[in-house]
Amino acid sequence: MAPLLQSPASSTKLCSLLLLTLAFLAAVDQSAAGIFDEIELIWGASRTYFFMDGDSEALALSLDKSQGSCFRSREKYLYVQIDVEIKLIEGDSAGTVCTVYTISEGPWEIHDEIDLEFLGNATGQPYTLHTNIFANGVGGREQQFRLWFDPTADYHTYSIVWNPNHILILVDGKAIRDFKNNEDKGVAFPTWQSMRTFGSLWSAEDWATQGGRIKTDWKQAPFVSSYRNYNVTWCRPSPGVAWCGDEPRDSARFDLDQKTLGDLQWVRDNSIIYDYCTDTVRFNASTLPKECTLQ
Ligand SMILES: *[C@@H]1O[C@H](CO)[C@@H](O)[C@H](O)[C@H]1NC(C)=O
Ligand SMILES: *[C@@H]1O[C@H](CO)[C@@H](O)[C@H](O)[C@H]1NC(C)=O
Ligand SMILES: *[C@@H]1O[C@H](CO)[C@@H](O)[C@H](O)[C@H]1NC(C)=O
């Protein structure tokens, strides 16, 4: 996609670029393949396995005392919706962390990242969904959620929606978090570094569960979490616009709809258990991140 970002010199060139973009998007759409084609294992491959779960291509990540496992997408994306269904470790998952996240590949000091981390727990105790967003190397934007269902009993859909104006995190189609593009007010937002999706299962028994008090019971190993229906939807350019992100500044295309606003309010009332923006022990009026006063 990189050449498309250069400013076209003539309208003819613009037109052929537009056609190229559309052809490219059509090709991507058709190949909306499953997890078998879209991802590759990058560590712990020996203990993970691909399998058919009904009609769905699925991947089981596993963790034992010696090692966890991790996959990444073959492609890199710029403005995209990623959906994946995950079924978390059943029973005692204390000390384990299962993730899905997107991250850019450039220097760490300026990297972008959108994180979902599922912190395991003792049998019968609830998982915590921990989220964070880095833009231009700056993170520290933790929000944590209590899920309103048992994420180990079945698959649920977790989504990252990244468009020019918002980053949204969704659970079963319900928006739980919004990070707005406030670049014009001096808050960095991921707009130019493409990101890959990663998913991993690893051990963090020193901090993950109840502040590290509950350790992993390695007698229960191997621990397994399963991913299926990995679905990538590229952001399509609006009519008359060459690429997603080139919409006029006042375009309403990416405005949040009433359902999304309602979801976010419901989550604030029912599911959020930690929000960095309201952490008065960590921040005072002069150190509170700027976006906390804008959203
Ligand atoms: C684990 O369960 C305890 C007790 O219900 C809860 O306080 C905690 O937030 C849960 N999650 C983690 C990651 O510790
Ligand atoms: C993938 O996600 C898009 C956007 O949400 C949706 O329209 C499409 O039906 C999904 N495809 C599959 C195979 O689930
Ligand atoms: C806010 O916190 C910073 C860093 O902890 C501290 O240096 C500063 O004095 C605090 N300001 C106020 C107004 O309390």
- Residues in contact with 283: Cβ distance below 8 Å, sequence separation at least 6, in sequence order: 276, 289, 292
Distance between Cα 148 and ligand 1 center (Å):
14
Instruction: Give the C-alpha separation, 204 to 210, whole Å.
Output: 12
Question: 295 or 251: whose pLDDT is higher?
Answer: 251
Residue whose Cα lies nearest atom 8 of ligand 1: it is 210
Residue with CA nearest ligand 3 atom 13: 286
Query: Over 70: is that where the pLDDT of 271 sits?
Result: yes
Determine the pLDDT at residue 27. Answer: 41
pLDDT class of 276 with cuts at 50, 70, 90: very high
Catalytic residue flag (residue 113): yes
Residue nearest to ligand 2 atom 3, measured at CA: 233
Q: Residues 123-137: pLDDT tens digits?
A: 999 999 999 999 999
Q: In the predicted model, what is the mean pLDDT of residues 172-185?
A: 97
Atom of ligand 1 nearest to the CA of 214: 14
SS (H, E, C) the chain: CHHHHCCCCCHHHHHHHHHHHHHHHHHHHHCCCCHHHHEEEEECHHHCEEEEECCEEEEEEEECCCCCEEEEECCCECCEEEEEEEECCCCCCCCEEEEEEEEECCCHHHCCEEEEEEECCCCCCCCEEEEEEEECCECCCCEEEECCCCCCCCCEEEEEEECCCEEEEEECCEEEEEEECCHHHCCCCCCCCCEEEEEEEEECCCCCCHHHCCCCCHHHCCEEEEEEEEEEEECCCCCCCCCCCCCCCCCCCCCCCHHHHHHHHHHHHHCEEEEHHHCCCCCCCCCCCHHHHCC
Structure token digits, residue 174: 């319900």
Distance CA 92, CA 123 (A): 4
Residue 160 CA to residue 169 CA, distance in Å, equals 5
| Per-residue pLDDT at 295 | 61
CA of 39 to the centre of ligand 2 (A): 17
Measured CA angle at 88 (ends 87, 91), to 5 deg: 125
Q: How much of the chain, in percent, has pLDDT values that exceed 90? A: 80
- CB distance 83 to ligand 2 below 6 Å: yes
Residue in 117, 205, 247, 291 annotated catalytic: 117
Give Cα 253 to chain centroid, integer Å. 21
Query: What pLDDT does 222 receive?
Result: 95
Within 10 Å of residue 230's Cβ, how many Cβ atoms? 26
Active site residue 40: no
Dihedral sign, Cα of residue 247, residue 257, residue 158, residue 275: positive
Give the CA angle between residues 194, 195, 200 to the nearest 5°. Answer: 170
Both tokens of residue 43?
């560590």
pLDDT confidence of 192, banded at 50, 70, 90? very high
Q: Tell me how far the alpha carbon of residue 233 lies from the centroid of ligand 2, in angstroms.
A: 7
For 232-268, the pLDDT digits (tens) are: 999 999 888 999 989 887 889 999 999 999 999 999 9
pLDDT at position 226 is: 97
What is the pLDDT averaged over residues 6-31?
A: 39
pLDDT score of 269 more than 80: yes
pLDDT band at 33 (very low <50, low <70, confident <90, very high): low
Band of the pLDDT at 14, cuts 50, 70, 90?
Answer: very low
In tens, the pLDDT along 71-94 reads 999 999 999 999 999 999 999 999
Residue located nearest, by CA, to atom 4 of ligand 1? 125
| Residue located via tokens 């996959």 | 71
The pair of three-digit structure tokens given for residue 295, joined into one six-digit string:
């959203």
Domains parsed from the chain with CATH numbers: 37-293 (2.60.120.200)
Is residue 179 within 8 A of residue 277, CB to CB? The reply is no
